[in-house]
Amino acid sequence: MILILCHLHDAEAAWLAQRLRRLAPAAAVRLVSAEELLYARRVVHTLGSGPAAFTLTLQSGAELDSRAIDVVVNRLCLLDPVLWQGPDSKQYLYVLQEINALYLSMLHCLPAGRLYNAPSAVALGGRALSPAEWQLLAVRAGLPIPPGWPPATASAPTEPAAPAAQVLVLDDEVLGEVPPGIEPDACRQLARLAGLRLLELHFARPGAGFALADATVFAALHRYGNAPALHFLSLTTTRDGADLGNPERAARGALAG
């Protein structure tokens, strides 16, 4: 099973689920929202001397068993238990911390090699770094950054400018059109330094050349065509053991459709 965890507004997650189903109709693809996790009928999380595991029964009756999940694409930021919001803010904050700690632990049950992105203590969706932190890592990786960094403190927050170019690093593969003057190996190195297996890099063009402006784990996956979906499918099998990950077969099926 490929499990995609997301928020209700996440159009990229919906696009990925649709593309996976189109490329491999036999694949088990489950799109689960943060609200479905919060209102699950039953949650069992086992920790002890043996392997950690969980089973989750959603309101629809669907069951998620960690032992049957091949790949998780985790696009969650935070689980907000809005039902507990009220006059007692301390109780709400307690539930907020506990529910997020529970799902952080549950996500860590899954094989690290098939979890995109692993949660951190800061966010369920992985490392949440500021543009300044990304640019510091960029310097260490050998990527150029805009001149005049760090920027002067703005008096008011401003809307970030659209990137002039973007690429996706997925398990050391660089997808998308790498802008002139940018080394693909430096893009890979940035993802390694961040400890991330899925990372989208945003480049600005402050002058004649390109420079890293920001990076995010919440990639605009549709920009990279079938490549991300085919990569996730390559890690899965059907319940009877049949391989779903042959890119040539999947691509032929998509073209035929």
pLDDT of residue 106: 93
Q: What is the mean pLDDT of residues 148-168?
A: 70
List the end-to-end C-alpha distance of the chain, in Å, as a whole number.
22
What is the DSSP pairing of strand 63-65 with strand 42-46? Answer: unpaired
pLDDT of residue 238: 46
29 has pLDDT over 50: yes
Q: How many CA atoms lie within 13 A of 158 on its CB side?
A: 8
Confidence of residue 113 (pLDDT cuts 50, 70, 90): confident
Percentage of residues of the chain with pLDDT beyond 70: 87
C-alpha distance from residue 196 to each of 205, 219, 256 (Å): 25, 12, 34
pLDDT of residue 246: 44
Q: Average model confidence (pLDDT) for the chain? A: 86
Q: What is the mean pLDDT of residues 120-144?
A: 87
Dihedrals phi, psi of 204, to nearest 5 degrees: -100, 165
Domain locations in the chain as residue ranges: 2-125, 131-216
61 has pLDDT over 90: yes
CATH of domain 2-125: 3.40.50
Percentage of residues of the chain with pLDDT beyond 90: 61
152 has pLDDT over 80: no
255 has pLDDT over 50: no
- What is the secondary structure of 19-57 as a DSSP string? HHHHH-TTS-EEEEEHHHHHT-SEEEEE-SSS--EEEEE
Q: What is the mean pLDDT of residues 129-136?
A: 85
Tell me which fold the domain 131-216 belongs to. D-amino Acid Aminotransferase; Chain A, domain 1 (3.30.470)
63 has pLDDT over 60: yes
pTM of the entire predicted model: 0.85
Confidence of residue 251 (pLDDT cuts 50, 70, 90): very low
Between 252 and 188, residue with greater pLDDT? 188
Of 27-36, 100-109, 231-240, the range with the lowest mean pLDDT is: 231-240
* pLDDT digit string, tens, across residues 4-17: 999 999 999 999 99
pLDDT of residue 48: 82
